[in-house]
Structure 1
Amino acid sequence: MLKNLQFATYRFTLQAGKQGVELPPWKASTFRGGFGHVFKKLACMRADEACVKCQASSVCAYGYIFETAPEEETGGFMGRYEQIPRPYLLEVPVDRQTYYEPGEVLTLRLRLFGKGIDYAPLFVSTFRELGNSGIGKGRKPYRLNHVASEGVRREMDRMVYMEGGEQTHNPIISTGADVITDLDSANSDYSRLILFFETPLRMKWQGRYTSDPQFHIIFRNVLRRITGLLHYHHGLDTSSENFQELLQKAEQIKLVRQETKWVDYDRFSARQDAKMKLGGIMGWAQYEGDWKEFLPWLQVAELTHIGKNTVFDLGRIRIGS
C-alpha cells in the first residue's frame, strides 16, 4: 500500500524586493493565506461564489485543491472525514526570522500528492503572482527566482521555472518505495525509538485534542493521513483494509520519556472572518517495544506529515536514533 503513494516536492527560491519582506514567526500561515487568495483568482471560474453552491466545483482546480468535501462515509478504518486531506502541504523555515533584507533569499517547499501533482504549474504561477501582489506586513513584493523539483534524497534537482523564462511540467515523481529504507540495512536496534515533533502536532484522541504522544495515538494519525491521501488523491480504495492487528501491536509500544510542550499559533481566517488558534505539541518522545513493523509507515509520514492542518506545515515529524 505504501508504495502506491506518489508525490513531488518543489523548492521555491524567493528573493525579497527593494522594501524587504516582513513576516510573522510562523511563516506558513501567511504564505498559505496569500497563495490561497491568489490561486482562487487565477483558477476559479466564479470567484465571488461559494464553492458549495458552484455548479463547476467538480471540475475546478481551486475546488479540488482547497474545498473538496467527502460525499459519503468511506467506511473501514477511516470512517467519516469532516474534511478530506488536501493534496498538498507547505514546508517553511522553522527559524524565528521575521525580516528579510532587500535581496535576501527565502526558501520554502511545496509537496503535492497523487492527482495534485497535475496542478503544479498553477502553484508556480500563483507564487509568482503573489510576489507581485506582495506578502506579509505592508504587502511587500518579492521575486520568484526559480523553482526546482527535488528527489527524495535531494541528490538531484530538475529546474521547472527560472525567472523570466517559461515554466515546464516535468517533475521528479517519487513513491513510497523511494522513501522506505531497507529494514535490514536501517538502524538495527528496533527496541527503542525517538520521534521528534518539529512543528506543532495537532491530533485528536477520543474526540478531543491531546498533548499525550502515546505511540498508538501517533500511529492512528499516521494511518489516517496516509490512507486518506491514497483514497482521495490516488483512487485507491483503502476502506476494506484491516489494520486492527497492527493497531493492537501499536498499543504494546510504550512511551517511556518525553520532553514536549503545547505551542499555539494564531492565524486569521478570511473565509471565516475570525482569528483561529492552531496549536499542537512540539519536542520529542522516546518509546520502547518492537517497532520494526512500523518503520515504513513512519518513514512515509515524515513526508506526508500527520495530524490536523498539515497544509500549514503542522505535524512535521522526524525519526531519531
Structure 2
Amino acid sequence: MHTFFRSARLTTTHLEFTVRAATALELDVYSGAALRGSFFNAIWTRFCVNKEAQTCAQCPLHTSCPVSALVAPLREESSWGQDIPRPYTILPPLDGARVYEPGERFSFGMTLMGDIVQLLPYILLSISPLEAEGLGHRLPQNGGQRGHFSVEQVEVYHPWSGQRAILYQSGDTFPNRPVASVTIQDCLQRAEQLDAERITLEFITPMRIIDREHLVKQPLLRPLLQRLLERYLALERHYGNPTLTLSKEERDILLQQAEATTCSANATHWQELTSYSNRQKRATPISGLQGRATFTGPLAPLLPFLTIGELIHVGKNAVKGNGHYRILTEH
C-alpha cells in the first residue's frame, strides 16, 4: 500500500460559503440537490458561450471548455458521461428543514476534487448569477418566487487542522488568492493517529449504499469500503493520477479485512428522504443510514482509505452531499 499511495495525486479543496438571506428562503432537510442545481445554472449561465448546443458533448468547444469540465456530467445523457464522477461535492446546511428570514445567515460547503481546483475562479465569478438564481421553495411572501441570498464571504479551510483563509468577500471584483488543498499525505498522517483496532464513524448525511442489489440498512464496513474504493479510484483516474490502480488481489485483501471487522456499537437509523430532480422530472430516493457506528478488528490497512472517505463522501448522491461521514477521535 505504501507504493500505491506514493503514486496517489488526488487532492481535495474545501470551501465554505457564508450567505445572508435577502428574502424569506425555505430549504428542505437536505438541500444538496437544490444547491447543486443552482451552481450548475449559475456557471452555465455565466460562462457558456454556446447555449444552443443540446449537450456539452455536441458543442465543438467541448474538449477545451472549462465550463464543460464542471457541468458536463450533469448535462450528458450518455452512459459515458454518467460514468464520470462529478468533480465536486456539495455540503448542504445541516439546520434541518426551515425557513430563513431576511437577514439570517447560513452556510454551505463545496469540495473540489483534484485538478478541478484550477477552475475555482469560474465558480467564484459565478456568485452573482448564483445570487440571482434563487434557491429553495417558491413562497407566497416572495410572490411565488424562490428565496434569494447574498454571499458575504467564501473561505477555504482544512477539515482536520481547522486552518482557514478568506478567498472572497462581498464586493470583490476578482478573487485571486492562494488556495490550500488537502493531500494524500495529510490523509496518511491522520490515519497514523487513529486506533488500528477500533474506530467510530459518524454518518452526518444519509449514506445510501447498494450491495449485491440490496440497500444496506445496517452499518457494515465491507460494502462501505467497496463503494469507497470504487469512488476514490474513479476520482483519481479523472482528477488525480490516471494510471493509479489497485489489482484485484489487492482489492480482495482489503475487502476481506473489512469483512473481518465487527460492528461493536450501533447507534444508526435509516432516514427516509426523497429529492425532486428537475432533469429527470421525478422524485428520486436519497434515503440512507445516519448516526454512529463503532467497528472493531484489523483496521490498520483500511484507515488511509477511510480518512480519504471523510473528504470525498461515499455511496449514492455523494455530489449532493450524501454519504458524508467523519471519524470520531477521542481527546
TM-score of the superposition, structure 2-length normalised?
A: 0.85
| CA drift at 1:82 | 5.1
| CA drift at 1:35 | 1.6
| CA drift at 1:302 | 0.6
Matched residue, 1:211: 217
Matched residue, 1:6: 11
* C-alpha contact 2:45 2:129 (8 A) present in aligned 1: no
Matched residue, 2:47: 43
Deviates more, 1:212-221 or 1:152-161: 152-161
Distance 2:286 2:65 in 1: 28
Deviates more, 1:110-119 or 1:278-287: 278-287
Matched residue, 1:16: 21
Gaps of 5+ in 2: 138-144
The verdict on how the C-alpha distance between 1:293 and 1:109 changes in structure 2, with shifts beyond 3 A counting, is same
Distance 2:66 2:323 in 1: 25
Distance 1:240 1:260 in 2: 31
2:150 to 122, 143, 148: 143
Matched residue, 1:162: 169
| CA drift at 1:116 | 1.2
* C-alpha contact 1:43 1:60 (8 A) present in aligned 2: no
| CA drift at 1:91 | 1.0
- 1:192-215, CA deviations, whole angstroms, 9 ceiling, x for partnerless residues? 222221111111212343223321
Matched residue, 1:111: 111
Counterparts of residues 238-277 of structure 1 (less than 5 Å) = 238-239=244-245, 241=247, 242-277=250-285
- 1:109-159, CA deviations, whole angstroms, 9 ceiling, x for partnerless residues? 111011210111121222332212322232222111111222343543222
Distance 2:79 2:25 in 1: 43
List structure 1 segments (4+ residues) > 6 angstroms apart after TM superposition.
69-73
Q: Which amino acid is the alignment partner of residue 11 of structure 1?
A: E
* C-alpha contact 2:10 2:241 (8 A) present in aligned 1: no
Q: Which amino acid is the alignment partner of residue 121 of structure 1?
A: P
Q: What is the aligned-residue RMSD (CA, Å)?
A: 2.5
Q: How many aligned positions are there? A: 311
Matched residue, 1:63: 68
* C-alpha contact 1:44 1:61 (8 A) present in aligned 2: no
Deviates more, 1:203-212 or 1:104-113: 203-212
Distance 2:56 2:242 in 1: 25
Distance 2:327 2:30 in 1: 23
Q: Which amino acid is the alignment partner of residue 204 of structure 2?
A: E
Gaps of 5+ in 1: 74-80
SS for the counterpart of 2:179 is: coil
Matched residue, 2:35: 31
SS for the counterpart of 2:303 is: helix
Distance 1:155 1:96 in 2: 24
Distance 1:217 1:178 in 2: 25
Matched residue, 1:308: 316
* C-alpha contact 2:263 2:295 (8 A) present in aligned 1: yes
The verdict on how the C-alpha distance between 1:222 and 1:62 changes in structure 2, with shifts beyond 3 A counting, is same
The verdict on how the C-alpha distance between 1:90 and 1:182 changes in structure 2, with shifts beyond 3 A counting, is closer
Q: Which amino acid is the alignment partner of residue 160 of structure 1?
A: L
The structure carrying a bigger helix percent of its residues is: 2
SS for the counterpart of 2:43 is: helix
| CA drift at 1:187 | 4.1
